[in-house]
Structure 1
Amino acid sequence: MRLRKLYVAILHFTLLHLVSAEIFSAITAGIAAAATGLYYSGRCYVGECCHQNHMPADFDRMFTKFDLVLDVCIFVVELKKNLESKMFGQHIAIKTIVNALKHHWSSDHIQKPLTISLHGSPGTGKNYITAFVKKSLYSKGVDSKFVHHWVGRIHFRLEEEVTKYQNNLYSWIKGNVTMCGRQLFIFDEVDKMPAKILDIIKPMIDYNERVEGVDYRQSIFIFISNTGSAAIVDTYLDFWKNGNRREGIKLKDFEKIITQGAFNEAGGFYRSDTIKSNLIDHYIPFLPMELEHVRMCIVQEFNIRNVTPSEHQIQNVLEYIEWGPNPENVFSKTGCKRLSQKVAVISAAGDEY
């Protein structure tokens, strides 16, 4: 009997010890996980991390189909609302960009990075719309470390340095995407870049699951250029002469002429492998601005300054606009550029101007 009691006691002690060790191990692991979580939460609170709190449009974070649909709807409605209320005359650009972004980060079957090329005359809204995209995709907007913006005449000035630029560009993109796949890369003034410089990114924007171990498919590349702008103006002028409604013109009416312009005109896309290989998803035209659109830009600039402009003030600003092409003279040669400075002077002067 005593041996049996001793055996039971030893068994109880052993089991208790094992359970206690397991509980202690679980508690220790829990504390470690909590500490790690607090560290990253704190770091992400003061900084910026590659997760949904800093990426409002990160649709893949949703747990249910309902959440996914709801989040997509909120993002699309918000971005579309902002663009339609603050951009004028660019229905093709607004519709295409909103839908492209929506499908890119909400799709379960992304085959390649999203690549968008914006084309048109100065002042038609190419950089303006890009600013809204930055703010919509990232909580820190233009200040996000996931947003990278190059300007042709600043960052890629010298023809003889093309190889150096290419190597630096490849390393920079690869390094950033390795840390976080949801990056936004913007190449402004592509027409001011040396030819072939963008060929280096061809493998990154191609239909590859991985390039040297890195998955680029969730990234977004936006190219901004004036190439093809003359063809866009001529094509739209023909529509205008034939009495076609601006809102009835579609993307397909311009994509071919823009592709030809980007490929054949001087700049970073001249005879480019990215165009030869059909790796640009959308060539988006920014249509020339007519009088009604320029007027809306002027009113918006006054409203930003909390001024409701009189017709006299609007006409004062319009006097600085140069119109073309001859003999029709129906499009602003500078779009809505330079209006802000003129409005600032006239709004300050009031009725005395």
Structure 2
Amino acid sequence: MAVAAILGIASVITALYFSSNVGTNRFVPNACTNVDSLLSDRIVGQDAAISSLVSAVCEHIRERPGGDPVRPLVISVHGPPGTGKTYTHTLLARAMYNRDPSKALSCPGPGCTGVKVLYGMSYIESEQETQLEMVRRAVMEHIRSTPDPILVIEEYDKLDCKSRAMLRQLVRHHELIDEDKGRMIIFLESNLGFMELVNLVTTERGNKSRITQETTDRILRQVSLDSWLAASCESLEDTVAFATTIHQYLAFLPLTRQDMAVLVGKELAHNYARRVAALGAELTWDPTVVQWLLNKGDYDQNNFPLDGAAQVASLCVRYVARHFRMYEIEQRNKLTANGIQVHKARVQSLERLRLSVAPGGGELQLRAGKGG
């Protein structure tokens, strides 16, 4: 009887484990659907790149009669800072390793141990051999111990020749590490070619829909090849062979003011609206708020935002956050003073908050009213 009870408990624990949303190092069954929905919702202004990435990933991991792919999927991502490159590989990992990506808050990290991110692989001469050997061993161990690995190499265009050689061997001959890792995804991130992409968007007056993937792919392939040849790290044949292992060159184009407006709206909805919702209130904002915030941003001569999407959170912290912090303090003080009566009143009459530009246009204001 005791044995049966123990077995029953064990089966329940096992069922809970395998049905949970906790991160894993295997691609989840709904990974393709996750990638499509999550990246399409969160990444702004990069529709063509995201569409291509989703298609490539879904095709790579699909079940096929002949078994797994024979070699890893290699994606090279290019663009100016702040256009979503790093955020994309973060969301990709959450989507690939978690049934419910919204709960994978510690990813990269415990929420998705299958992804390994390498940053800054150029070392001073005296430490180069030792450091590269440590990196090589760490990468090999990660690939061998992970059923479905994702490897991210940031700023790969800045690698020195010896680091490049290690990467080239990994991409071209992964079977030397583990022949069963054809489902691996290698994500190369770079700012290389970003001026060419800026010029493209400028020429089209910000209309990204007029820029084809064929155009950006051709430009980025050539820019990358020219850069590698100029470094003279290997023979022409080896350089060309490495270039052919990259399946796609994805262009993350400069963000426009229209893209920034969408991002501001998402920041207000995902951050501030949720904060007041936890206190039983509903938030709306005037359209003029978005433009007011955008006018506080910094832009280059082409009217592209400096630092891209990173400005959005900074602008909201500077001009929006204090109003909500004051509201939260006020609500906590009321709750402390009046106890449950405040909670009952809130339930009976939803408080509606409106964020708007104050008279005179010098600042924002948050006003409360009662709803039904």
TM over 0.5: yes
Matched ranges for 1:70-149 at <5 A = 71=30, 75-106=31-62, 107=64, 108-139=67-98, 141-143=107-109, 144-149=112-117
Decide which of 260, 263, 287 is 1:294's aligned counterpart.
Answer: 260
Matched ranges for 1:131-280 at <5 A = 131-139=90-98, 141-143=107-109, 144-152=112-120, 156-158=122-124, 160-206=126-172, 208=173, 210-211=175-176, 214-238=179-203, 240-241=204-205, 245-265=207-227, 273=238, 276-277=241-242, 278-280=244-246
Unaligned runs of 5+ in 1: 1-30, 60-70
4+ long deviations beyond 6 Å? 266-270
Identity of aligned residues (%): 19
Deviation of the 1:219 alpha carbon: 1.3
Deviation of the 1:343 alpha carbon: 0.5
Q: Paired residue for 2:280?
A: none
2:283 matches 1:318: no
Decide which of 309, 314, 320 is 1:341's aligned counterpart.
Answer: 314
Q: Is the CA contact (8 Å cut-off) linking 1:209 and 1:215 kept in structure 2?
A: no
Q: Paired residue for 2:370?
A: none
Q: Paired residue for 1:308?
A: 284
Deviation of the 1:84 alpha carbon: 2.1
Deviation of the 1:318 alpha carbon: 1.4
Q: Is the CA contact (8 Å cut-off) linking 2:192 and 2:223 kept in structure 1?
A: yes
Q: Is the CA contact (8 Å cut-off) linking 2:74 and 2:186 kept in structure 1?
A: yes
Taking a change above 3 Å as real, the CA distance of residues 299 and 283 of structure 1, as seen in their structure-2 partners, is: same
Q: Output the CA distance in 1 between the equivalents of 2:177 and 2:57.
A: 26
Q: Which amino acid aligns with 1:247?
A: S
Q: Output the CA distance in 2 between the equivalents of 1:125 and 1:211.
A: 33
Aligned residue for 2:186, secondary structure, equals strand
Aligned residue for 2:202, secondary structure, equals helix
Q: CA RMSD in A?
A: 3.5
Q: Output the CA distance in 2 between the equivalents of 1:308 and 1:138.
A: 35
Deviation of the 1:142 alpha carbon: 1.8
TM-score (norm 2): 0.67
- Residue deviations 1:244-285 (CA, integer Å, cap 9, x gap): x52353321112221233344489988575664221111110
Bigger Rg, structure 1 or 2: 1
Deviation of the 1:196 alpha carbon: 4.5
Deviation of the 1:294 alpha carbon: 0.7
Q: Is the CA contact (8 Å cut-off) linking 2:119 and 2:153 kept in structure 1?
A: yes
TM-score (norm 1): 0.70
Deviation of the 1:332 alpha carbon: 2.2
Q: Output the CA distance in 2 between the equivalents of 1:209 and 1:150.
A: 17
- Residue deviations 1:120-173 (CA, integer Å, cap 9, x gap): 001111011111101011125422221111222xx5443554433332232222
Q: Output the CA distance in 1 between the equivalents of 2:162 and 2:49.
A: 26
How many residue pairs get matched? Answer: 290
Q: Which amino acid aligns with 1:255?
A: D
Q: Which amino acid aligns with 1:122?
A: P
Q: Output the CA distance in 2 between the equivalents of 1:268 and 1:133.
A: 32
Q: Output the CA distance in 2 between the equivalents of 1:202 and 1:136.
A: 27
Deviation of the 1:192 alpha carbon: 4.2
- Residue deviations 1:39-85 (CA, integer Å, cap 9, x gap): 9x86x949x9xxx98367445xxxxxxxxxxx5xxx43432222222
Q: Output the CA distance in 2 between the equivalents of 1:57 and 1:317.
A: 40
